[in-house]
Every structure is written in structure tokens, then in C-alpha cells.
Structure 1
Amino acid sequence: MFSRDKSSDQEIQGVVIPRAEHGISRDDISDNALKVLYRLNKAGFQAYLVGGCVRDLMLGLHPKDFDVVTDATPEQIKGLFRNCRLIGRRFRLAHIVFGREIIEVATFRGHHADGGNEDPDGNDKKALGKQDEHGQLLRDNVFGSIEEDAERRDFTFNAMYYSVADFAVTDFANGIDAIQKREVRLIGDPETRYREDPVRMLRAVRFAVKLNMTISKPTATPIKSLAHLLGNIPAARLFEETLKLFLSGQGEATFLMLREYGLLTPLFPQLESLIRDENSREMQFIRAVLRNTDDRINNDQRVTPAFLYAALLWYPLEEQSQKLQAESGLNAHDALNIAMGEVISRQTKHIMIPKRFSTVMRDIWILQQRLPKRFGRRAFQLLTHPKFRAGYDFLAVRGQIEGGEVLELADWWTQFQQADNGKQKQMLKTLRQREGGDKPKPRRRRRKSPNKQADHD
């Protein structure tokens, strides 16, 4: 079971940084987080802000979330807050709800088997903590001291604790040095920590990009050889992690670093052969979509994971659809429908895609097949499609990368949307003349049979 790597030259020691030396002000802290801290302190418990919020405050950034850690158990926390709900099995946590803001409160974590089989409250550590054969933590509700909790943190800059009792920051893993040198460093033995929770490899990349840091050599070295362990992570959890990776406003840079460390293959195995070449159309298309997504997020515009996943899986879909047409003689429409189900099914074995997003992905893909068909009333009907805009935006990015007929088609739709009704009709007439008609055939009038005519008479 987990214990600190005794051979590590990194000792966990708390260094107190007084208020005058760290620059964190209560004005920058959520009022609700302060309420939680003060109430826990008043009830006789230790309570600290911890992790990313302290790190970001030290960097002069504005945290999105404020997490609290305490020596109170989840049940004791619930007893103090009527607006509290307990969640989680792997990690038992308290969520204290203030309208739209949730303050997450965790109890100090301890080591599973160091110094006996019981935690300070007399609970059986073996019952509270569990690992699988790879060393991955499946259950982790062993409680301990603040020193043990700091040791259990993942990265050094996340083991800093801010107290409202004296307004000091206690730095247990020299996180200040990591911040000053702009390095992402794991606490303890990197291989052991990655085996405990392989998602830490994704977090290392995300923090490096988000904070404009580098991953220290000891922290980076095991990643490629252990990347396959992401296959042990539940697909639902990886969906949430990929949202953090790609919808943070730095998705393109994150994608490139994931590729550098071999972390894309366990997440998107269907992309492996398509993105080996930096200059391939597949790579350029994904980068263009991520770049556009980053721009939208950084300009406070809405984005949907469906568009991103549709882009990531577009060329695997196109390849599978063409394969089905060649091998089974299916028409393009049927081949696309079958390929969509197969591609999404393969992907959801690794990353779950909720139906509300996979349905939109299918709409975007189907529109790529429908948008070239513009004659008659079709063009006007397509403009009213609920997902027309997403399908058009998707086509526009394809046009930027693929050029040729795809770019010409995207430009046509750009003009068609902006034109008035008279101009739209003229565009359709010109298109029909240029492409040879495709006029609808006149309906054949059915001849009445003689018998029916006689009966009528």
C-alpha cells in the first residue's frame, strides 16, 4: 500500500511563510470559502485553503475554485453545515453549497499502512484504502495529519496551505521554489505516484501549459512508459479530464504537449496513425479547430465539446466510411451512418461521450454530406436545420485545411447566408446552370384504368 518513498531525497517539511511575505489577501478569496474556514476554526478544527487556489493566488492569478482541507471528518463537516452534501466513494468529500458556488472540503489524507492498521480514529486502514495490481488507488479514505496530507498531494506547488487563523502559508514541499523556477514537480517517486493515479500524467501536462511552466526531468521521464495506464481509468472520468485539457483556452498547446509525451494514443487510439506527421491534413485540421476553440473561450464565447469531438474523430470517420463503401458496396449515406456508430463506439471504450454530445456530433457529420446538396428547396431547408451553424463552421475549417471543392463549398454557404432572398435565388439559379441542372423531374400523372373510368361513369 501507499507510503512515502523512503529513498526519496525530497523530505516533506512545513515552512511557514508569514502574511508579510506571501502577498495573499482575503479580498482575493471567496467570501463563502472564508465562511467555511472560520466556522471550522470556531468549532475547534484546523482548516486551510489548499492546492490550486493557493498556488494561483501566489502567482497573482484569480482562482476559479477554492478548496478547503481540515482535520474534521466528513460526518463532522456535515454536522456543521446544513447546506452540505457528502459525495464520492474513492475520495469521500464534503460539498458545501452556496447557490452556484460549491466549496469542496476534504479531510486530511493519511498513509494506508504506515505504522499500523488503524487510523487516528480507530478505523481499519485496509477497509478504508484499496489499490489494484498496478498500484492504482481504488479507494482512499484513510485520514491522517496535515503533514501526511501534504505528502499525499500530487505536485509540490499544490502542497501549500493558507490559514485564516494567522494568515500564514505553510509550504510543505518547497512549492515556492517550483513556482519561482516555473517547474511542475511531483512529490515523491514519480513512477509510484503515476501508478497510484495515472491521471496525474494528464494533470502534469495541463499545469505546464496553463502556468507556462516546464515539467521537471524526474517528473517527465516515466510518462511515456506509463501512458498505457490511462487505459485503467474509467471512461467517464477521462471525459471530465479531457474537458479540462481542451476547453481551458489553451487546447492547442495542450494537444501538442500530450502528443509529445505519448498521452494521446491511450485517449484517442483512432488518431494514432493520422497525427504522426506534423504537416498532415489531419494534424492541421485538429490544430485549427483547437485554435478556433481557444479563441472563442478567451473571448467569452460559447463552445461545445460535441464540436471538438466531431473534429477529433472526423478523419477516422471518413476513413471508415470509405472503407465500408469499398468493401461492402454501400452507398455513401448508409456507409456514413454505419461508420458513425462504429467510430463513436470505439472511442467510448476509452472516453465516455454523453449522448447529448454524441447526438450533436452525428448532426455535424451528417451535415457535411448534406451541405453539398443545394438545389431546389434544399438550401433553404438546410438553413433552418437546428445544427446548421455548427455544421457550417465545421465545413469552414475543413475548407481552410483541405482547399479545393470543400473551400469553394464553404465560401458559397458563407455568401448564401448573408444574401437577401432575391440574391439567394439567383445564386441557386447560377449554380444549377453551372452544374448542369439537377432539376427535379416532373411528376408522372397516373393514367386511370378503363375499369375505374367505367365505374365512375
Structure 2
Amino acid sequence: IKKLRAAGFSTYLVGGSVRDLLAKQTPKDFDISTSARPEQIKQIFQKNCLLIGRRFRLAHIRFGHKILEVATFRAGENDSDLIVQDNIWGSEEEDVRRRDFTINGLLYDPESHTVIDYVGGWEDIHKGILRVIGDPATRFKQDPVRMLRLLKFRARFKFNIDPEARSALINCREEIIKSSPARLLEELLRMLESGASAPFFSLMNEAGLLELLMPPLAEFLRKEEGKQIYMLLASADKINLKNLKNPLDRSVLTACLLYPLLVNELTSQYLDKGETPHLGEITILSASVVKAIVTSSFTHFPRRISAISSFILATQYRLNPISGKRNLRPRMLHHKEFDLALSFLRVRANIDPSLREAYNAWQGVFKHRDRHSDHKGH
């Protein structure tokens, strides 16, 4: 910031980092906005600067071991139907007015320790209100992912949604399927990692967005058995909140959404009839549960997540068999995704004390395997 200012450019900390500091949360990263154009930033920082993006040109500056993102102030109409061009340079106020919510519209000057607020974000953070900058319906139609972001901040900060934004969310929810499936998936996966996934999925279901994105999951969550999904998500949230820089693997978190559906299928197809499925049948059923959700979702889950989630689900019945006879087979420990299946057993054991013994036994064998292979390596 000092370097850009010394070169004569207005430069501030912006967005999420300012919001998090004011809401007494630890910022994940620090974003910087400046009046300097991307090429001018490159001139100042030279080798330490990499310009990225075409539609939205940004500078990545290497600062020690970190990469800082620096954006140029942009202008653009708040009420145009779709954002199609992002590289129209503007003033700091124009830049703020393009942002989504007032709580993300603050600028911080680290030299004078002052917050610059053009949109009432300071007051909204202190009152705990989520308010859209501009007309909510227009802004949601411009970029429907903003509806997910609204629920994300509601889940994370427990702020109240402004009535205008709430009614626009209900009226515009069908717009969500105009978004890029890849962007939506990334938002959902990030929320699974955030430590606030249980309230987020509950809010999505309540707002009617989940039935547009993942219909079978939304339907299952309306049943009594759906509570199991929220319990697993809450357990994963607890684990992730202790280590947000290194959250549980995305396939483990996806398994939280799918495992109760597998239990439901096993119960209706086998257990209710007094039958015990063998591991081959459980493996086939796990794959079909994952496939049913993935193929009917608007968001396209990557093959890696689908395949590993399916393995995690089926492996739960090796780790803790229906018959109760546990076989600590060393061969299974060498499967490259075994640790992920064990992580998911930990998520389950946190809400079901009867699984703790199985988790501790497998964890002990797994640690011994690691020590043994380290020893062999030396």
C-alpha cells in the first residue's frame, strides 16, 4: 500500500478483510484496491507482480511467502441487466457501489487508521444487517450467485437479512440456474469448508435454492431422516472451525451430504426385510446413491469427489460392519484414500459415541502403519 501511495495512487484495504476485522473475525486474506491501472502496478512491482484474468484484470503481488491480490477501481452501472464488461476503470466510490453488500463496501486506510464508508456498511456491521448495495432484485439478476453469498454471510455472521433483500431472494430464486455451474459448485464447496455449512444448507433449503440446484437432497432434507445431514455437517463444522486453514477434504464434506441417503437405502432395501447386505452390495448401493445426486444436480461435481465420496461411504461398513465383527485388515490401510474414510468416521463418531471405539482402534492401527512405513523408509 505504501509503495503504491508513494507513486501517487490512492490505495486501500477493501472488502472482506475490512468486514472481518470490524466483525471481530480473522480475515482469510487481504484484498487491496487502487487507482493504479494493472500495467502501472506491474511497472512498480516488476518481477514480483503477475497480471491475471482477461474479463477482470487483477495483479497478484508476491509479498514474502504470500500472494496479495490488487484490483484497480472499477466503474459500471449498478442497474444494467448483466455484468458483461469489468475492465472499465472508475473512482473509489464507483468501485464500492459495484460491490454486492454494504458490509463488503468499506475501504480502510492503514496509514491514517480510518474507514471510508460510502454505503452505510459500518452501521450495518454494528447492527448485524445484511443489505444489498443498490436494488436487490436487479443486483441478484445481474449475478445470481449473490443470492448464495447473501445466505453465506447470514450463516457465517448470523446477521439479519434486510426485508428488501429477503423478498428479492424469494422472487429471484429461479435466476440461480442462469449462473455458471462451476461457480456455484465452488461456492457450495467453499461453504462446506467454512465452519458454517449446517446453517448455510438449512438456509438454502428454506429459501428454495437447494431444490433448484440439488433436488433429491432438498427433498431428503424435508424428511425426518434429513436431520442426520445437518448433524453431520455441524460435526464437520466443529472440526473445521478449529483449523480453517486446513479444512477436511472436500470428498469427506460431500460424504456428509450423502451418507444419510445411503443409510436410508440400506434400511429400506435390506435391514427392514431382516437381511444383511454384503460389502459388494453396499459398494454398488453407495455408487448409485452418489450417482443419483450427482446426475440430478445443476452443479457438476468433479469425478474425483464423486469417486472418493462413494469409496468413503462404502468403507464405513468395513470400518464398522453391520454384523459388529471388526476385522482390522492391514491391506485396507494401504488404500490411498483410507485416511479420508477414517476422517469421515471421526465426523460420525463425534455425534455417535458408540463409534468412538471403532474410530480409536482404526486410528491406532493407521498411526502404527505410518510409523512403520517411516521406519522402513529410513
TM-score normalised per structure 2: 0.79
Q: Does 1:253 align with 2:191?
A: no
Deviations 1:328-355 (A, max 9, x none): xxx83674376156336416x5334334
Q: Does 1:149 align with 2:95?
A: yes
- Residue equivalent to 1:270: 216
- Residue equivalent to 1:12: none
Give the counterpart of 1:313 among 254, 258, 263: 258
- Residue equivalent to 2:228: 285
Instruction: Tell me how far 1:383 sits from its aligned partner.
Output: 5.3
Question: Is the Cα contact below 8 Å between 1:228 and 1:266 reproduced in 2?
Answer: yes
Cα distance in 2, alignment partners of residues 379 and 393 from structure 1: 16
- Residue equivalent to 1:452: none
Tell me the amino acid that sits aligned with residue 391 of structure 1: A
Greater fraction of residues in helix: 2
Give the counterpart of 1:358 among 306, 330, 336: 306
Question: Is the Cα contact below 8 Å between 1:317 and 1:339 reproduced in 2?
Answer: no
Cα distance in 1, alignment partners of residues 19 and 263 from structure 2: 44
Give the counterpart of 2:37 among 73, 91, 100: 73
Cα distance in 1, alignment partners of residues 236 and 25 from structure 2: 22
Q: Does 1:295 align with 2:259?
A: no
Cα distance in 2, alignment partners of residues 72 and 104 from structure 1: 13
Identity of aligned residues (%): 36
Please list, as runs of the form range in 1=range in 2, the aligned pairs for 1:139-218 lying within 5 A after superposition.
139-164=85-110, 166-218=112-164
Q: Does 1:94 align with 2:44?
A: no
Instruction: Tell me how far 1:291 sits from its aligned partner.
Output: 1.5
CA distance 1:266–1:141, change in 2 (3 Å): farther
CA distance 1:232–1:89, change in 2 (3 Å): farther
SS in 2 for 1:161: strand
Q: Does 1:41 align with 2:41?
A: no
Instruction: Tell me how far 1:142 sits from its aligned partner.
Output: 1.7
Please list, as runs of the form range in 1=range in 2, the aligned pairs for 1:226-245 lying within 5 A after superposition.
226-245=172-191
SS in 2 for 1:222: helix
SS in 2 for 1:154: coil
CA distance 1:99–1:352, change in 2 (3 Å): farther
SS in 2 for 1:85: strand
Tell me the amino acid that sits aligned with residue 359 of structure 1: A
Cα distance in 1, alignment partners of residues 283 and 108 from structure 2: 59
Cα distance in 2, alignment partners of residues 360 and 157 from structure 1: 37
CA distance 1:63–1:399, change in 2 (3 Å): closer
Deviations 1:213-239 (A, max 9, x none): 111111111112322322222222223
Deviations 1:408-457 (A, max 9, x none): 8x57745864899xxxxxxxxxxxxxxxxxxxxxxxxxxxxxxxxxxxxx
Cα distance in 2, alignment partners of residues 90 and 288 from structure 1: 41
Please identify the structure whose Cα radius of gyration is greater: 1
Structure 2 unaligned residues grouped into runs of 5+:
271-279, 366-378
Question: Is the Cα contact below 8 Å between 1:94 and 1:104 reproduced in 2?
Answer: yes
Equivalent pairs, count = 351
TM-score normalised per structure 1: 0.67
Cα distance in 2, alignment partners of residues 144 and 319 from structure 1: 55
Please list, as runs of the form range in 1=range in 2, the aligned pairs for 1:425-440 lying within 5 A after superposition.
none
- Residue equivalent to 2:368: none
Tell me the amino acid that sits aligned with residue 288 of structure 2: A
SS in 2 for 1:140: coil
- Residue equivalent to 1:391: 341
SS in 2 for 1:153: coil
SS in 2 for 1:109: coil
Cα distance in 2, alignment partners of residues 397 and 57 from structure 1: 30
CA distance 1:254–1:339, change in 2 (3 Å): same
Q: Which moved more, 1:254-263 or 1:217-226?
A: 254-263
Instruction: Tell me how far 1:253 sits from its aligned partner.
Output: 2.0
Question: Is the Cα contact below 8 Å between 2:258 and 2:289 reproduced in 1?
Answer: no
Question: Is the Cα contact below 8 Å between 1:156 and 1:178 reproduced in 2?
Answer: yes
Question: Is the Cα contact below 8 Å between 2:316 and 2:341 reproduced in 1?
Answer: yes
Cα distance in 2, alignment partners of residues 227 and 203 from structure 1: 13
Q: Does 1:106 align with 2:71?
A: yes
Please list, as runs of the form range in 1=range in 2, the aligned pairs for 1:42-57 lying within 5 A after superposition.
42-57=6-21
- Residue equivalent to 1:33: none
Question: Is the Cα contact below 8 Å between 2:33 and 2:73 reproduced in 1?
Answer: yes
Cα distance in 1, alignment partners of residues 116 and 310 from structure 2: 51
Question: Is the Cα contact below 8 Å between 1:266 and 1:350 reproduced in 2?
Answer: yes
SS in 2 for 1:187: coil
Cα distance in 2, alignment partners of residues 39 and 167 from structure 1: 17
SS in 1 for 2:219: coil
Cα distance in 2, alignment partners of residues 93 and 106 from structure 1: 5
Instruction: Tell me how far 1:136 sits from its aligned partner.
Output: 3.5
Cα distance in 2, alignment partners of residues 50 and 256 from structure 1: 30
Instruction: Tell me how far 1:314 sits from its aligned partner.
Output: 3.3
Tell me the amino acid that sits aligned with residue 226 of structure 1: C
Question: Is the Cα contact below 8 Å between 1:110 and 1:152 reproduced in 2?
Answer: yes
Question: Is the Cα contact below 8 Å between 1:112 and 1:142 reproduced in 2?
Answer: no
Instruction: Tell me how far 1:99 sits from its aligned partner.
Output: 4.4
Tell me the amino acid that sits aligned with residue 18 of structure 2: V
- Residue equivalent to 1:304: 249
Instruction: Tell me how far 1:168 sits from its aligned partner.
Output: 2.8
Instruction: Tell me how far 1:284 sits from its aligned partner.
Output: 1.9
